[in-house]
Structure 1
Amino acid sequence: MAAFRRFPFTVAATALAAAITLNAPARAADAGAPWSLDRLMSTLAQHKSGRATFTETKTLSIAAQPVESSGELVFVAPDHLEKHTLSPKPEHLVVDGGMLTVERNNRTYTLALDRYPELGAFIDSIRATLSGNRFALERVYKVALSGRGDDWTLTLTPLDARMLKVVSTITLDGTRDVLRSVAIRQADGDHSLMRLQPVPAN
């Protein structure tokens, strides 16, 4: 069950990554404006829905070598996210409203987020990010933005002790309004790096 409890954190962080990636083109005209946290929040507030492909590398204490995977993300504003892992094994994670559904190995698991307040708070904080609500985000994380507009890093550190028992930091790297990668470092030392590429709308 402990491993299953980590899924909402991973999916929520993925939602943040997908939102930045899929919203990126909307702000291209502002390339000359100073980069700031408020500008990043404004980018996220565009509420664009769309798709992105991903490649992910996970370094796990239980695995002798890093685990590689790839697939597709689907984000539908305001609170629906799908993460479809296609390789090496099919796995489907869906966050819809207050429910998380995981499908893998021909089995389906469903988790009501309101039964796990710390996980629900994590999901809600990501939704606050998607709506561009900086103040709601800062109630849950210590937020740090560094670098320049063409090479920036956003670091999120949970303030809640329960959340810190699962996730230590989420680090996002990007160029202007395009996210290059999102890294999740767990409290147990496991960590992952996801690289994203937006899929153009038809």
Structure 2
Amino acid sequence: MAVTIAAVAPLGQAQAVEPLPVTVAAPLVTSITLDQLLGQFAGMSGLQATFREEKRMALLAAPLVNEGTIYFVPNGKKPRLARHTAKPARSVVVIDGSALKLADDAGREEIALDKSPMVRLFIDSFIKIFAGDREALTNMYAMDLQAEGQRWTLKLKPKLTPLDKLIERVEIAGDGVVIASMRVVEVGGDEAVTTFSAVDATRKFSTEELTALFSLPPKPAPVAAAPASR
């Protein structure tokens, strides 16, 4: 007769027990808050970034494209912003204190912001974002931040007249203190989409750079008239 031997440990000897699998919970990802984001902006020493702006207008078959570099310095209560456009034509726009200064091939112009409420509100909104001024932004916009970790999208809807009659909303996206894109949608549907690259949010400017970058280029020397032929 065949005898079957069961695979059972002898009495008094403990059986080997396989350890239960251990499940390790993934660490929770904490998303950046609006206060943290604006606090990071407020702590910047300065900013430099390459930009590509596409202005999309219903009346145009193709967008208008501008490319260049922007510079920003907090400078206490009087932050300064400069936009140097390289393509398709060279121009410089400087916002310094209470004035907007512009120089291009057509000439030069200075706009007193105190006398141009629309321009002032529009410009102030961008400066206040870079400066991380929550109090000013809260007065100007209804703000909605959507974030996942350090990646975020901030939607701004104007509350003040006359800005709310011109701008439907502003959408800014980034990662930490690095801004990736900015979309400005006008009430009529036209929009400007700006993408940023080579962003340096720790930029420090020397005294010479502050003078060169945040000032209009010198006026070209007048061309001497050719002597009249006899």
Q: Which TM class, normalised by the smaller chain length?
A: 0.7 to 0.9
- Out of 48, 56, 60, the position equivalent to 1:51 is 48
Deviations for 1:94-131, whole angstroms, at most 9, x for unmatched residues? 11100001222331111000012343344444444444
Q: In structure 2, give the amino acid aligned to 1:178.
A: V
Q: Structure 1: 5+ residue runs without aligned partners? A: 1-31
SS in 1 for 2:120: helix
Larger strand proportion of the pair: 1
SS in 2 for 1:165: helix
- 1:75-90 equivalences under 5 Å are 75-78=72-75, 79-90=79-90
- 1:1-202 equivalences under 5 Å are 34-78=31-75, 79-198=79-198
SS in 2 for 1:53: strand
Deviations for 1:70-89, whole angstroms, at most 9, x for unmatched residues? 10111122321111111111
Q: In structure 1, give the amino acid aligned to 2:42.
A: A
C-alpha distance 90-96 of structure 1, shift in aligned 2 (>3 A): same
Percent identity between the two aligned chains: 29
CA contact (8 A) 2:140 2:159 kept: yes
C-alpha distance 124-68 of structure 1, shift in aligned 2 (>3 A): closer
Q: Structure 2: 5+ residue runs without aligned partners? A: 1-28, 205-230
Larger helix proportion of the pair: 1
C-alpha distance 54-130 of structure 1, shift in aligned 2 (>3 A): closer
Q: In structure 1, give the amino acid aligned to 2:157.
A: T
C-alpha distance 157-199 of structure 1, shift in aligned 2 (>3 A): closer
Task: Count matched residues.
Answer: 171
Computed over aligned residues only, the root mean square deviation of the Cα atoms, in angstroms, reads 2.2
C-alpha distance 170-76 of structure 1, shift in aligned 2 (>3 A): same
Higher relative contact order (CA 8 A, sep 6+): 1
CA contact (8 A) 1:126 1:137 kept: no
C-alpha distance 176-47 of structure 1, shift in aligned 2 (>3 A): closer
**Aligned equivalents of 1:45, 1:92: Cα separation in 2:** 25
C-alpha distance 116-73 of structure 1, shift in aligned 2 (>3 A): same
TM-score (norm. length: structure 2)? 0.67
**Aligned equivalents of 1:67, 1:159: Cα separation in 2:** 28
TM-score (norm. length: structure 1)? 0.75
SS in 2 for 1:160: coil
Deviations for 1:168-201, whole angstroms, at most 9, x for unmatched residues? 1110011233221111111232111111123555
SS in 1 for 2:38: helix
**Which has the larger Rg?**
2
